[in-house]
């Protein structure tokens, strides 16, 4: 069996509805990425691609995040039914970065909480989530979480050639995957 056969799944596991928190992002996306310095000025900006897919028998969601010339990384998101949270790990080999988070729903947002390499509280937040777009931002705190500064943000749009979330779910169901 090849690695791709063992890793990639057609859809979510049928017994885990909670998987759709990140499962809603499965597919291909494009984004405008902006990074800010400590004073809030734009440090860098670029366009990129973000591809999400089902892995590990449909019990996890993995992505590949690509900004040409800057980073080509991956995140693995695994739901923990004992705690009702997600364990999230990002690896960016070009920049040599790694970050671990615990994620949960907060209102209409998905908030991933962790600690930066410098020991500062860190949050990665998915917000304004729609079938064809969402906003993502990384914020950090230098005062123990009393206030937050924006480090990075992305405005993300589903690749228009791919179709809507409901069309993707229909295709997955026709391939034997569990319905969303």
CA triplet 112, 10, 171: central angle to 5 degrees? 105
* Amino acid 56: pLDDT: 94
Q: Which of 121, 126, 87, 132 is nearest to 107 (CA)?
A: 126
Residue 173, judged by CB atoms within 10 A of its CB (0-12, 13-18, 19+), counts as: middle
pLDDT tens figures, 138-165: 999 989 889 999 999 999 999 987 654 4
Quickly count: other Cβ atoms within 10 Å of residue 89's Cβ.
15
115's tokens: 């600690």
Instruction: Map out the domains of the chain with their CATH numbers.
Output: 3-174 (2.40.128.20)
Write down the pTM of the prediction: 0.86
Least confident of 17-21, 82-86, 101-105: 17-21
Q: Does position 169 have pLDDT exceeding 50, yes or no?
A: no
| Beta pairing, strands 133-140 & 85-92 | unpaired
Read off the pLDDT of each residue in 74-97 and give the average, rounded to a whole number: 95
* Amino acid 161: pLDDT: 79
Q: Does position 177 have pLDDT exceeding 80, yes or no?
A: no
Strands (E), the chain: 27-36, 42-55, 60-67, 71-80, 85-92, 97-106, 109-115, 121-130, 133-140, 149-158
Q: Does position 170 have pLDDT exceeding 50, yes or no?
A: no
pLDDT band per the 50, 70, 90 thresholds, residue 8: very high
Residue 179 per-residue DSSP state: P
104's tokens: 């949960």
* Amino acid 163: pLDDT: 55
pLDDT band per the 50, 70, 90 thresholds, residue 98: very high
* Amino acid 155: pLDDT: 98
* Amino acid 122: pLDDT: 96
């Amino acid at each position: 069996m090849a690695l791709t056969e063992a890793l990639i799944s057609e859809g979510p596991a049928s017994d885990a509805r909670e998987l759709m928190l990140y499962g809603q992002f499965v597919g291909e996306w494009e984004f405008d990425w902006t990074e800010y310095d400590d004073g809030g000025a734009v440090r860098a900006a670029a366009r990129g691609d973000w591809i999400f897919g089902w892995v590990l028998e449909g019990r996890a969601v993995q992505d590949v995040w690509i900004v040409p010339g800057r980073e080509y990384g991956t995140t693995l998101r695994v739901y923990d039914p004992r705690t009702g949270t997600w364990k999230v790990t990002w690896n960016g080999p070009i920049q040599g970065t790694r970050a671990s988070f615990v994620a949960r729903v907060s209102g209409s947002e998905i908030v991933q909480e962790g600690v930066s390499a410098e020991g500062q509280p860190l949050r990665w937040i998915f917000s304004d989530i729609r079938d064809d777009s969402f906003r993502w931002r990384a914020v950090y705190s230098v005062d123990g979480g009393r206030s937050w500064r924006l480090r990075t943000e992305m405005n993300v749009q589903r690749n228009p050639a791919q179709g809507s979330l409901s069309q993707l779910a229909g295709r997955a169901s026709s391939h034997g995957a569990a319905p969303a």
